[in-house]
Amino acid sequence: MRVLVVEDNPTQSTFARISLQRRGLDVNCASTLDEAMSYLRRDAIDVVLLDLSLPDSNGIETFYKIRQIASGVPTVVFTGLDDQDIAIEALKNGAQDYLIKGLAGDDSVYRCLQYAIERNKVEVALRKSERRLRIILEHSYDAFASMDNQFNITDWNNQAEKTFGIKRTEALGRSLAIIAPHHLRKQYAREVDEFFKASEGKIQRYTTELIAQHRDGHEFPIEIVVFRIYEDDSYMYCAFARDITERKHVAEELERRVQERTAELTHSNEELRQFAKIASHDLQEPLRAVQGFANLLQESTKGKLDQDSIEFIDYILDGTQRMQQLIQSVLVHSNIATRDETVEDIETDCNAIIEEVLDNLDATIKECHAKLEVDNLPTVAVERAQLIQLFQNIISNALKYRDKAAPQIFITAEKSVNEWLFSIRDNGIGIDPKYADKIFDMFARLHGKTKYSGTGMGLAICKKIVNSHGGKIWVESEVGQGCIFLFTLPAGKMKESGNGK
């Protein structure tokens, strides 16, 4: 540690030098202000021990001149001037300490020099940190204000000036309420006060959106974050605010476009439903005519046609029947609408639905000796008719696409937040995982109609029922390993009821 002792008295200068050198310090001595300033310009000095009474300078001016040339070097005043006013002035203007000759011993002087260097390092670091913070705040995209415990403004950055049109000099000392329109100030003050009264801890944060007012009178929306910081037995506040006018405009425009698009899709879907109804009616009329005449032809020519002609008529009747099934499936698919959240929730007991589905499929179940295990199932917010279609389509597929062994079907449900996850597992022929998505498409068939009958619409209808209630449906399977159909449905509000099978 290098010390510059500025002392015009040779004896005192020598005593100070010897005392400090004994403690391991590197000491330089100057007897005049001129000599001291030369040292400071030329050499790196860690601390100055300064007498105020010199041949070429006297009193507090000596301190000011040293500080002027070496403001970053800590200075300890060591003088015979026992003047309280001078001491206070020196300490206010950067002196690390003020020692009186004859009252401060060698150890005290040494400790003061050490403390002076350490304090100076802390102060320099603090000043650097404050400068960095000031640069950050002044170049921030957000308006910033700090306030005392009465919400009077103590700091106001450049962006605050731009955002609210109020200069820093005008804002300082005024209430933060100046950023709000007069008719909203009491309401905002009450909301902030109520929030912080209910909050505890050394730092609390309040975030909200509110209407602000520019100095020119126009109002605009802002997002504001207010921090309350407990410090020195009192509170201070900091606020960051951002003009969100553009964000609001973008959000409003996006909402407008979404509403327009929703209206267009609703209209388009309604047109498609109407088209499906009309098309199904128009298609079924000639189809019924073909079927009717084919039946008449079959009856009137019984025993008169050869085998090929009989088969041709059977093909016509089979084709018309499959066409009718296909038209009905398309009509069912088109009539499944997205669940309306504004309508009172529907409560349907899945246990009762499964009983009805099993009754519908009773003949097939007995024919193939199928075994079903059904857990106690929940109540869900889905219409009864749609639930019957959903479960019946999947269970009938499990019966249809069976392997050589008798079908085994397991039905379970698990609660997940506000929905139920259903699982229907079978031991059938399974499917290749690459077709796991394709099977839910309209008219999708992985097998020829001669081997397995159907329209290819069953799982497409299941998917639309599930999706229309905000759920998901998928399948996990491997060829020869059976299938697990999984789907989610919104939970009902009633308690689960019914008995498992």
**Cβ atoms 52, 79 nearer than 8 A:** yes
If residue 88 lies in a helix (H) or strand (E), which one and from where to where?
helix 84-92
The count of other CB atoms within 10 Å of the CB of residue 218 is: 10
H-type helices in 335-401, by residue range? 350-360, 362-367, 384-400
> Higher model confidence: residue 85 or residue 323?
85
Identify the CA nearest to 211 among candidates 240, 175, 187, 235: 187
The answer to whether residue 337 scores a pLDDT higher than 80 is no
**Cβ atoms 361, 395 nearer than 8 A:** yes
Contact residues for 125 (Cβ-Cβ < 8 A; gap 6+) = none
- Which three-class secondary structure state does DSSP give residue 339? coil
The count of other CB atoms within 10 Å of the CB of residue 205 is: 12
pLDDT-derived band at 448, boundaries 50, 70, 90: low
Provide mean pLDDT across the span 95-112.
Answer: 84
- pLDDT > 70 fraction of the chain, expressed in percent and rounded: 87
**Cβ atoms 398, 466 nearer than 8 A:** no
Per-residue pLDDT, 109 = 85
Cα angle 424, 426, 431 (rounded to 5 degrees) comes to: 100
Per-residue pLDDT, 326 = 66
Q: How far apart are CA 189 and CA 176, in angstroms?
A: 10
> Higher model confidence: residue 366 or residue 235?
366
Whole-angstrom CA distances from 318 to 301, 311, 325, 450 are 18, 10, 11, 12
Q: Please report, for the chain, the start and end positions of each structural domain, with discontinuous segments joined by +.
A: 2-137, 140-247, 259-335, 348-490
Per-residue pLDDT, 340 = 54
The count of other CB atoms within 10 Å of the CB of residue 255 is: 10
Range from 151-165, 261-275, 297-311, 328-342 carrying the lowest mean pLDDT: 328-342
Provide mean pLDDT across the span 254-275.
Answer: 81
Whole-angstrom CA distances from 60 to 37, 57, 375, 377 are 16, 9, 94, 92
The answer to whether residue 201 scores a pLDDT higher than 80 is no
Q: Which 3-state string (H, E, C) describes 119-155?
A: HHHHHHHHHHHHHHHHHHHHCCCCEEEEECCCCEEEE
Q: How far apart are CA 222 and CA 210, in angstroms?
A: 6
Whole-angstrom CA distances from 48 to 25, 26, 28, 281 are 12, 12, 10, 105
Per-residue pLDDT, 495 = 46
Range from 12-21, 94-103, 453-462 carrying the lowest mean pLDDT: 453-462
Per-residue pLDDT, 222 = 94
Provide mean pLDDT across the span 187-194.
Answer: 90
pLDDT-derived band at 349, boundaries 50, 70, 90: very high
Per-residue pLDDT, 499 = 41
Per-residue pLDDT, 489 = 92
Q: How far apart are CA 180 and CA 226, in angstroms?
A: 14
**Cβ atoms 28, 4 nearer than 8 A:** yes
The answer to whether residue 324 scores a pLDDT higher than 50 is yes
Q: How far apart are CA 32 and CA 17, in angstroms?
A: 16
- Which three-class secondary structure state does DSSP give residue 157? coil
The answer to whether residue 217 scores a pLDDT higher than 50 is yes
Whole-angstrom CA distances from 492 to 380, 387, 466, 489, 500 are 4, 13, 15, 9, 18
Identify the CA nearest to 396 among candidates 432, 436, 424: 424
Both tokens assigned to 98: 């003020």
If residue 111 lies in a helix (H) or strand (E), which one and from where to where?
helix 106-138
The count of other CB atoms within 10 Å of the CB of residue 147 is: 21
> Higher model confidence: residue 279 or residue 414?
414
| CATH annotation of 2-137 | 3.40.50.2300
DSSP 407-464: PEEEEEEEEETTEEEEEEEE-S----GGGTTGGGSTT--SS-TTTS---S-HHHHHHH
Q: Which of 1-10, 154-163, 192-201 has the highest mean pLDDT?
A: 154-163
Provide mean pLDDT across the span 51-60.
Answer: 89
Q: Does domain 348-490 have CATH number 3.40.50.2300?
A: no
The answer to whether residue 37 scores a pLDDT higher than 70 is yes
Over residues 372-399, the pLDDT tens digits come to 999 999 999 888 888 988 999 899 899 9
Over residues 461-491, the pLDDT tens digits come to 899 889 888 899 999 998 888 999 999 998 8
Both tokens assigned to 438: 């394709």
The count of other CB atoms within 10 Å of the CB of residue 279 is: 15
- Which three-class secondary structure state does DSSP give residue 10? helix
Per-residue pLDDT, 125 = 77
pTM comes to 0.44
DSSP 304-318: TS-HHHHHHHHHHHH
pLDDT-derived band at 214, boundaries 50, 70, 90: very high
Per-residue pLDDT, 450 = 53
Contact residues for 346 (Cβ-Cβ < 8 A; gap 6+) = 381, 382, 383, 492
If you classify domain 140-247 with CATH, what class do you get? alpha beta
The answer to whether residue 420 scores a pLDDT higher than 60 is yes
**Cβ atoms 411, 498 nearer than 8 A:** no
Residue written as tokens 């009754």? 359
Provide mean pLDDT across the span 245-266.
Answer: 89
The answer to whether residue 327 scores a pLDDT higher than 80 is no
pLDDT-derived band at 279, boundaries 50, 70, 90: low
Identify the CA nearest to 424 among candidates 373, 464, 470: 373
